[in-house]
Amino acid sequence: GGGVGLQFTRSSEGIAYLRKNNIAATYSYSVGGDDFVTSFGIQAGFTNRNIDLDKLVFADQIDASTGFIPGSSSSAQLPDISNRFYFDAGTGVNMVFRNFMAGASIYHINKPDESFTGVQSKLPMRIVGYASLKISLLSQYSYYEDDGMYVIPSVVYYQQGASQAFSAGAQLKYRSVNMGLWYRTSAQNTPDALVVSFIFDIFKNGKNGEKLRLGISHDATTSKINYTNTSGSTEASVGYEKYFPGSSSYNKFNGLRCYDFY
């Protein structure tokens, strides 16, 4: 069976409001049966990256004793452009066998140029690998059902350019509520952050996989750049999923296999 998706993401960083907006379409195709499924996916879309140049602060606007000089201007040469569009693409594979899931994905396969200055600055490919195990907390359990109570330990590995990171954690899932706690290391394998996540299904139709879900997570920095200085970072998401009859002849293909783990 196959599936399609549409994703929109937006991020904002720093006082200069470096913003990134991305819209991407996804197509996946699954093979297998009720016990084992392998899914292959491709993603393609466009990204807009922009920055407010007027809010940048340079060295000649800072006094060594008092800090930023109000009303000052800089002699620094500003970038030629503050707005950039580029195409971005990725691919991945996901495998589920009963209560075990593993997969890998590659983002930014085409290494798009993000530069504002005209000097080429390619975005390195990002490689992600992960594995999860769903453990029932109830004595009466069937992996075909999704309404029990579970602990789901997971590990995730990230690599982008010379940077690497590793996350490990667990989620507690009960029906339409999912709570998670994660630990993340930096590229130097030193503690980087604790992550708390919550996922809520506003409604869910178990027979056809239709659901509207809200998610929120917060990263609390534990590295030398401490939480007092950064206040961490917060992410929020809204997702809608629906199964279309006839897209698969298998019961567990109905938009539910990966959802069992989240």
The domain ranges of the chain are 2-261
Asked if the model's pLDDT at residue 218 lies above 80, the reply is yes
Closest residue by Cα to residue 253 from 5, 92, 6, 37? 37
What is the token pair recorded at 198?
């919550």
More confidently predicted of 249 and 21: 21
Asked if the model's pLDDT at residue 15 lies above 70, the reply is no
pLDDT tens-digit series, residues 225-260:
665 556 677 888 988 877 766 655 555 555 555 656
107 Cβ contact list (under 8 Å, min separation 6):
88, 90, 125, 126, 127, 128
More confidently predicted of 67 and 262: 67
**The residue type at 129:** G
> Residue 61 CA to chain centroid, in angstroms?
37
Is the Cα dihedral 182, 35, 149, 146 positive or negative?
A: positive
pLDDT tens-digit series, residues 99-111:
899 999 999 999 9
What letters, b where the CB count within 10 A reaches 16 and e where it falls short, cover 118-144?
Answer: eeeeebeebebebebbbeeeeeeeeee
Distances (CA, A) of 212 to 96, 142, 203: 23, 24, 6
Is residue 150 within 8 A of residue 142, CB to CB? The reply is no
Query: What is the rounded CA–CA span in Å between residue 223 and residue 220?
Result: 9
| Matching CATH number, 2-261, of 2.40.160, 3.90.226, 2.40.50, 2.40.128 | 2.40.128
Residue percentage of the chain with pLDDT more than 90: 37
Mean pLDDT of the chain: 83
